[in-house]
Amino acid sequence: MTNILKLNEVVSQSIRNGNACIYAYVKTLDSSPGVYRMLDKDDQVLYVGKAKHLRNRVSSYSRPSGHSDRILRMISQTRSMLFLTTETEIEALLLEQSLIKNLKPKYNVLLRDDKSFASIHLDKSHSFPQVRKHRGTEKGIGTFFGPFANAGSIDKTLNQLQKAFLLRNCTDSTFEARTRPCLMYQIKRCSAPCVGNISKESYGDLISKAEQFLSGKSKEMQKNLVDQMNMASSLMEFEKAAELRDRIQVLKEVQTQKSSNLGGLQEADIIALHVEKGRACVQVFFIRAFQNWGNKDYFPDTGAGADSEEIMRTFLGQFYSNKTPPSIILLSNDIQDRDLISLVLSKKSGVKVNLAVPRRGKKMDIVNAAMRNARESLARKLANTETQKKLISGLTKTLSLGSNPNRIEVYDNSHFQGNAAVGCMIVAGEEGFLKKEYRKFNIKSKHIKLGDDFAMMREVLSRRFERLKKEDKDRVEKKWPDLVIIDGGVGHLSVVAKVMSELQLEDIPLLGVSKGPDRNAGKEEFHSLERGTFALKSNDPVLYYVQRLRDEAHRFAIGTHRAKRSKNQFKSQLDEIAGIGGKRKKALLESFGSVKAISQSTQMDIAAVDGISSLLAQSIYEFFHDSE
């Protein structure tokens, strides 16, 4: 009892110290909008917040009561603060989002998965535009339609486009090389513009109709096509009428697929949140062209227990930081700064963005459906996490570790007869595989003999931990492993142990995993510095868990190695010439047809290629003729 009282007194004193620290800053602040940062004793950022009125907002933290447990913990750790004033609250909001994304403070809500989605690109850089799948920044000539949350949605829409409008999806080089129609033409998925089966004007009309289709105007288009089909039929142009009939059939299929449950929404994002046991799941549905273009789960860090309002508000800012918002966003939870965020998103989009929380009707039904998905997804996530915890606890017991490892790193190498050698690292924890943390290492040393697996492992581990010591010597970041697993036997373990000893990192536990004398899965042998070589029962869950870790590392290493080999196969002598990039290489090959033809050309002929200066032409010519 006495110990509990002493602990409570220490906590209370920490909170009072935090209150006093914050109060000292209040006197220095005015009514300007801006951003504040709370720092701990090591000057690590605990929290980033924005305020319409800095003095009022910061002074609220100096009060001794009226705070949630999360805020009290944050106050108790605060030992200094930093401030940035802005002209407007909008600037403060944007600055807050940027700082949270870069600093990743402990008590802020963090969206870990913020990658862009796939879209459909009508590439108009060619006289006969190409339709293709696109991911990343929307650069290039043409129109982009999206986002599509998953591959199934975008493949289905691309299939509809090709069936209805017969657009090409081949590359420009393939297009230029065709002398007769390809299979896509035979199965009525392309109009074969590559061999002149359709005029530029007619193909342009198909592109225009495809844009209308992707904008949700298929109903009006369908009516026009019916009129055209009837006209062609009356003029006894039966082949043309049949083509129009097939196109109408595809549009009818799309019309029947348009769900009446979407409440007449042409373009909207549906964002629903469910919070349980300190964890959160945000479900996002994408509605475009009156169709559901897929949905995706997000599991943001809740900042040590943020409430639903803060999670939703912060999620919106981070989610749309690299995405263009639609005109309507339906939310399951209301937020304090709804008008402000709506204004920021409207400026980003170029059109008014309406943030709404529906209370009745079909729109509310859509949001409720998204909330149900969020609840079920979070339940599955929690169940998987519990399973992972049990497996990690079993591994901890097997290896006699002091506590459960939060971060497990697994290393493997891959090569083919010593060529295209790579080393890879995968990361796992209570959340499963952390794929954003995976790393690959191209083997750089010139002194490694072909196929020397020990030397490769030495290089990979040395580079990994030398850099980690340089970037985070005090182990403040959560990038340090609590357990390192190596795909290999006693020899590999000895090499890695020596590397860790040289770097004075002997406190990190090591485990080697080999397939045993018969090389059969299920008879793996484990190697540790403390226990030596040992094995587990064939039905031990820990054995299955380590096998999964090892197999994932093997999969990642093999995939990386194959990608490198494939890339090396397409290298040419032109890659060795300074000043020759992708565009110039393409221009040279299109002009001459092959590297051999370039090597046999005169300097004047090379300089005649677009983008090749006389000086660069001289370098290219001398590269192929320096032996002469």
Average pLDDT over residues 110-126: 83
Any residues with CB less than 8 A from the CB of 592 and at least 6 apart, and which? Answer: 598, 601
| Residue 487 near residue 513 (C-beta atoms within 8 A) | yes
Query: Phi and psi (nearest 5°) for 558?
Result: -60, -45
In the prediction, which pLDDT does 254 show?
57
Most confidently modeled of 321-330, 448-457, 578-587?
321-330
Nearest 10 degrees: Cα torsion 27, 33, 38, 42 = -90
pLDDT score for 303: 87
- Number of residues that this document lists for the chain: 628
- Tell the CATH topology of 2-103: GIY-YIG endonuclease (3.40.1440)
Nearest to 388 by CA among 430, 331, 354, 438: 430
Q: Which helix (H) or strand (E) holds 456?
A: helix 453-471
The pLDDT score that the predictor gives to residue 178 is 85
**Residue 186 to residue 483: CA distance in whole angstroms:** 57
CA distance 429 to 218: 47
pLDDT score, position 8 = 53
What integer pLDDT is reported at residue 348 of this predicted model? Answer: 87
Residue 511 burial by Cβ neighbours in a 10 Å radius (0-12, 13-18, 19+): buried
Place of tokens 């046999």: 600
Contact 158, 165 (CB under 8 A): no
Q: From CA 406, how far away is CA 395, in angstroms rounded?
A: 12
Per-residue pLDDT reduced to its tens digit, 350-403: 899 999 999 988 899 999 999 999 999 999 999 888 999 999 999 999 999 989
H runs (alpha helix) in 258-360: 308-319, 338-349
Alpha-carbon distance 415 to 422, whole Å? 7
Mean pLDDT of 221-243: 75
Q: Which amino acid is at 192?
A: A
> Residue 4 — very low, low, confident or very high, per pLDDT cuts 50/70/90?
very low
Burial class for 359, CB neighbours closer than 10 Å (0-12, 13-18, 19+): exposed
Query: Which residue type does 342 have?
Result: S
Task: Give this prediction's pTM.
Answer: 0.74
pLDDT of residue 258: 52
H helix or E strand, kind and range, residue 170? none
Which CATH number among 3.30.420.340, 3.20.20.140, 3.40.50.300, 3.20.20.370 corresponds to the domain 262-380?
A: 3.30.420.340
Q: Enter the CATH code of domain 408-563.
A: 3.30.420.340
Of 270 and 262, the structure prediction assigns the larger pLDDT to 270
Pick the more confident residue, 272 or 223. 272
Residue with the bigger pLDDT between 83 and 3: it is 83
DSSP assignment of 368-389: HHHHHHHHHHHHHHHHHHHHHH
Parse the chain into domains and list their residue ranges.
2-103, 262-380, 408-563, 573-625
426 token code pair: 């995968």
Q: Which CATH number fits domain 573-625: 3.40.50.10740, 1.10.1740.10, 1.10.150.20, 2.60.40.10?
A: 1.10.150.20
Count Cβ atoms below 10 Å from residue 515 Cβ, excluding itself: 15
Q: DSSP E strands: which ranges in 242-397?
A: 267-276, 279-288, 291-298, 328-331, 354-356
Q: For residue 427, what pLDDT band results from cuts at 50, 70 and 90?
A: very high
- 574/439 Cα distance (integer angstroms): 29
Q: Is the pLDDT of residue 96 over 90?
A: yes
Q: What are phi and psi of 517, to 5 degrees?
A: -65, -30
Angle between helices 308-319 and 338-349 in degrees, nearest 10: 10
CA distance 464 to 480: 10
* Confidence at residue 224, expressed as pLDDT on a 0 to 100 scale: 72
Angle, helix 89-103 to helix 338-349, in steps of 10 degrees? 80
Query: In the sheet that 328-331 helps form, which strands lie side by side, from edge to edge?
Result: 291-298, 279-288, 267-276, 328-331, 354-356
pLDDT for res 40: 92
- 408-563 and 573-625 in the same fold: no
- Percentages helix, strand, coil for the chain (3-state, rounded to 5) are 50, 20, 30
Q: What is the DSSP string of 190-220?
A: ---GGGTSS-HHHHHHHHHHHHHHHTT-HHH
Q: What is the radius of gyration, based on Cα positions, of the chain?
A: 31
